[in-house]
Amino acid sequence: MDLQYISANMSQAMAIQTDAEKLMRRVLTLGMPTVAALNGHTAAGGAMLALAFDKRLMTAESQSTREAGLKLCLKFPPVGVFFIPGIDLGLVYSTGMTELMKAKMPLAMWNDVLCMGKRFQSEELLKHGVVEARPPAADLFDSAMELATSLKSKGKDEKTRDTLHKIKGNLYKDAAATLGFQVQDMGYATATFSATGRPQK
């Protein structure tokens, strides 16, 4: 979902949109447990893809903490920031993307995330149940692997994977039925993002 690329290759916009939605649907209904380790800003299409996973862990540390080893530094924005800026970019989420976000976030977040483009830090996401934990950056991968290992029995063989795939298909039926199938033009041609893919000032 590279906006710079799409703006320069508008004829490919719908194909890119379709492929992105198919990927989200595949992860969403995959017949084995999935765990996402979020080690940086989780935004736009990347945030939606993260939501498609069963479990998410997000580092709580700031960029400056990781680089300088400081306990707290306000010079840099937190790494653990989640947001979907369609409102600021002039882009309207497709039905499938909207259903995915509704399925994976509590009702209390819907308006703030989808309509207002609010940025959530990992601590807020933990309180809302969107992430499972906020490990230090150095422990993020190991923590994600530990969680994934604890869930591996839920995808241990073909029968279990088929069962889990069908359960997820029913649980997320509205998203699964529309992602990649009811693909809509999000408004790339008339969007309000700059050549760098950021909201225009």
Q: From residue 138, how far is each of 24, 71, 88, 143, 160 by CA, in Å?
A: 27, 14, 33, 10, 33
pLDDT of the residue at 1: 80
Which range has the worst mean pLDDT, 25-34, 78-87, 102-111, 152-161? 78-87
- pLDDT of 77 > 80? The answer is no
- pLDDT of 196 > 80? The answer is no
| pLDDT, tens only, 95-118 | 999 999 999 999 999 999 999 999
| pLDDT, tens only, 19-38 | 999 999 999 999 999 999 99
Specify the pairing of strand 81-83 against strand 42-43.
Answer: parallel
Q: Please identify which residue in the block is written with the tokens 């945030």.
A: 47
Residue percentage of the chain with pLDDT more than 70: 86
What is the band of 55 on the pLDDT scale with cuts at 50, 70, 90?
Answer: very high
- pLDDT of 78 > 60? The answer is no
Look at the pTM and tell me if it is higher than 0.75: yes
Residue scoring higher pLDDT (173 or 201): 173
pLDDT of the residue at 73: 41
pLDDT of the residue at 194: 62
